[in-house]
Amino acid sequence: MSAVSPRLAPNSRTGRVTSPAGGGRSRARAAVGVSAGVSAAVAGAVAVAGSFRRREIVLPGSPFDFTLPPAPGVDVSVSVAETGVMRSNAVFAYRGGGFEQLVFGMDSLVVRHPERTLLVDTGFGRRLREHTRTVPRLMRAVSAIELDVALADRLAAGGLGAGDVSVVLTHAHWDHVSGLEDLPGVPVHVNAAERDFIRTGGRPTELIRGFGELDYQLYDFDDGPYAGFPESHDLLGDGSVVLVPVGGHTPGSVLVFVRTPGQDLCLIGDQAWKREGVDLPAERPWISCCLVDHDPVRVRANLGLLHRLQEANPELLLVPAHDRGPRAALPRFA
């Protein structure tokens, strides 16, 4: 009986002779699979990291005319009702931001008009802890949310109750509607696109749906072009408060132009979280877009429009909903 070659060995179950090279090939294939997985993970990490770097936003040219119409001369004033803060890092707010911690204001703007008082968004309500359960877990993990004074209590200190005000929503995310719960019966001005989003928007509009059927006051964009935007709605009929659709962040997001004797303002909601988003311009990084933006491509286009709007109207104060830098130019309510 001849000796078995040291390079070959019989299979103990079948008696067939096999080569260790087959096992080597299996190990090689496994190694290749692991290597491919590592490469994919590295590529993914690089792509995510790259999404925090600035990228150029194409700015619109003609035929846009961003010139504001003449001010109506109505005796309107605007003040800031501060309700709380969210603390997080600039890197999550706009592409190119650093790791410095920022304070994002969660406020309502009080617009006093001779006919009525409007609240643009509502900041935080009394049951903030319960309301934050609708916030995406990742957002809660990278931020700290703190209540200062609930909106209803802030208004009461200034002599206002639910019967004295109506609400204009820039959009219906939780941090813009939390204070509604404490203002029973208040009229809430929304357009049809945002009303549909409230009904069908899933988790992003879960909080406002939980408040039941509110007194929604629907409006259409029936007043033609305004400051370079193709549609608008003159809310009070005198040019002092004009709403312009911009979509993107939510389907029915709006800009709110407020014309006062001393200052023209454009309240831009969450088109940008910080003024850098407009000034550079710079969109939110990919991870933030995934968490909050319904249509990131449209948000990017809107930032280009807002950048041009500011260039054409240097005295216009553009106010992101959560940036207390621009809001420092406005008086505090109560």
C-alpha 150 chain-centroid distance: 21
Position 47 pLDDT exceeds 50: no
pLDDT digits (tens, 9 = 90+) for 151-189: 999 999 999 999 999 999 999 999 999 999 999 999 999
Confidence category of residue 15, pLDDT binned at 50, 70, 90: very low
pLDDT given for residue 9 in this prediction: 42
Please give, one letter per residue, the 3-state secondary structure of 257-287: EEECCCCEEEEEECCCCCCHHHHCCCCCCHH
Position 29 pLDDT exceeds 70: no
Confidence category of residue 51, pLDDT binned at 50, 70, 90: confident
Identify each DSSP E strand in the chain by its residue range. 9-10, 17-18, 77-89, 101-112, 117-120, 144-147, 165-168, 187-191, 215-219, 233-234, 241-245, 254-259, 264-269, 317-320
Residue 263 burial by Cβ neighbours in a 10 Å radius (0-12, 13-18, 19+): middle
pLDDT given for residue 64 in this prediction: 78
Phi, psi values for residue 151, rounded to 5°: -55, -45
Identity of the amino acid at 206: E
Phi, psi values for residue 52, rounded to 5°: -90, -15
pLDDT given for residue 116 in this prediction: 96
Position 85 pLDDT exceeds 90: yes
Position 269 pLDDT exceeds 80: yes
Choose among 180, 148, 174: nearest CA to 80.
148
3-state class (DSSP) for residue 227:
coil
pLDDT given for residue 75 in this prediction: 97
Choose among 88, 59, 119: nearest CA to 301.
59
Cross-strand pairs, 215: 187
Using CA atoms, how far apart are residues 1 and 321, in angstroms rounded to an integer?
90
pTM as predicted: 0.85
Using CA atoms, how far apart are residues 273 and 269, in angstroms rounded to an integer?
8
pLDDT given for residue 137 in this prediction: 92
Identify each DSSP E strand in 123-222 by its residue range. 144-147, 165-168, 187-191, 215-219
Confidence category of residue 53, pLDDT binned at 50, 70, 90: confident
